[in-house]
Amino acid sequence: MTNLTVVGYEIINKVGEGAMSEVFSARNNGADEIVAIKVLRQYFKDNQSYISRLKQEGQTLSLVSDDRIVRFIDITKTSDGRMSMVFEFVDGKNLEQLLQSNCTSLNPLVASCIISEVLLGLEEAHRHGIIHRDLKPENIMLTAMGRIKITDFGVAKNLESQEMTVTGIIVGSPAYMSPEQARGEMVDARSDLYSLGILLYKISTGNLPFIGNNYQAMVSAIMQGTFTSPEKIRPDIHPELVRIIKKALSKDINGRYQKAYQFRYDLMKFLDHIAAPSVTKVLERFFANQLDPALYDSENVMRTIIERANEAFQANDKISSIKLIQQAINLAPGNQEAKVLLAKFSNKTRIHLYIWAGIFLAILLGAGATITFETPKQVLATKPFVIPIPIPTPTIVDKHKPPLLTLAKKAEVVQEKAKEQKEEKSKEKITVPTRVVFKVPLEVKVYFDGVQVMNPEHGVENVSPGKHEITLIKPGLVPIISNIDIIEGQTTTINAM
């Protein structure tokens, strides 16, 4: 218990502390609700800089509403006049506590699920122009129900505000800073995504990518941008997850993920590739200590893929079946179950294969699509399964064609008309249509402002400039929703491959 009193609240006990403030659990006397109260430390009571920072956090959180971001409730004061903020109470542990209780690192599957959830909350913050600037294990909470909560927006920056944006002022935790943040430069959403790359590296391997004995050494390591590849520390980490981490940690700001949804989309593709359960199930099992440690093992992944392929085969779902078989063969070229299933698939579909594959591929290739499977970058040791395409019937030339002289005269007339039309068009004002095109896997459905785009590759034309909502839906995964700014007279490409 504590002697601290806050008007309207009954303090229960102290649950955390930082350099600037202490956090207490309390009961809201009016609503009989358990809340968390962040109280400014006594020696900062009259410090206007810290008071402003606490107010800034409240103002920032009042702008966003997302289940993955801690909910702001009220600003109040203690009986001795200290500034205090009231938040929802999160019953759980932060990532730092989880790391300490799990021998410094987590199952890469769990790590990927945690970061994918953080990215969902972060996307909402970024949509409101809010950059967190201090993403680290202590500021990510995992509730008893397996839900993620992003906390501590005390040094967050609103891109539309002039507060806390002075170039040269370095804020945040050094170990998780982006190069531009460490230099004290202006930052945007990409800085947060870099910090999440460091966080993913840390919770997957147990090590930080950049280390130093002091602040200057740490910043120097970040600036240099070289780090030990994750699989050198943890050999069982999947090559695709290694690729994702390396992209997130690109020193070149244009070489890393530009948007939160892009980062998350790659993680969800990876989770789908290893046949993982839903993110919610993984996190619930993990927090309840019921997660099978072998869930990430290659043998378990292969078993799950084979089971899904068999289910698709029995349901006569040819596309899903062959895709899963191909995935299994890529993971383990010598796997006998995959080979047997491929033989069964070939025998069952041999009669109808030419017709089905010919029509299917003709449509895709006619639209200029590229057919790929979501597989890791491994060289196939087996002969690829090739679907034959019917040979088109040759065109029959008319034997009764007109004389060459007649054709020549007709060609002259056509050329003259074409020249006239070209001259007329050159006199007209050239207008460039505003367009949005999409590069997405075949199974992904695209919605533009709530309306499905039937031909994503062709896209949407004559789009009005300004903000528009993009929704990507892949079967079995949580939809990705993002807002984009469209510039008049330009073609915007949404690449989610």
DSSP characters over 428-491: SPP-PPPEEEEE--TT-EEEETTEEES-TTT-EESPPSEEEEEEEE-TTSPPEEEEEEEPTT-E
Q: Is 105 exposed, middle or buried (0-12, 13-18, 19+ CB in 10 A)?
A: middle
Rounded distance between C-alpha atoms, residue 146 and residue 285, angstroms = 8
**For residue 423, which amino acid is it?**
E
Note whether 65 and 114 are within 8 A (CB): no
User: Is 134 a known active-site residue?
Assistant: yes
Question: Pick the catalytic residue: 134, 152, 192, 266?
Answer: 134
Asked whether the CA dihedral 160, 161, 164, 165 is positive or negative, the reply is: positive
Six-digit token string for 465: 């400039």
Phi then psi for residue 265, to 5 deg, are: -60, -40
| Residues near 460 by beta carbon (within 8 Å), at least 6 away in sequence | 435, 436, 448, 453
Q: Is 183 exposed, middle or buried (0-12, 13-18, 19+ CB in 10 A)?
A: middle
Q: Please identify which residue in the block is written with the tokens 């043998």.
A: 299
Rounded distance between C-alpha atoms, residue 167 and residue 164, angstroms = 9
- Which residue numbers are catalytic? 134
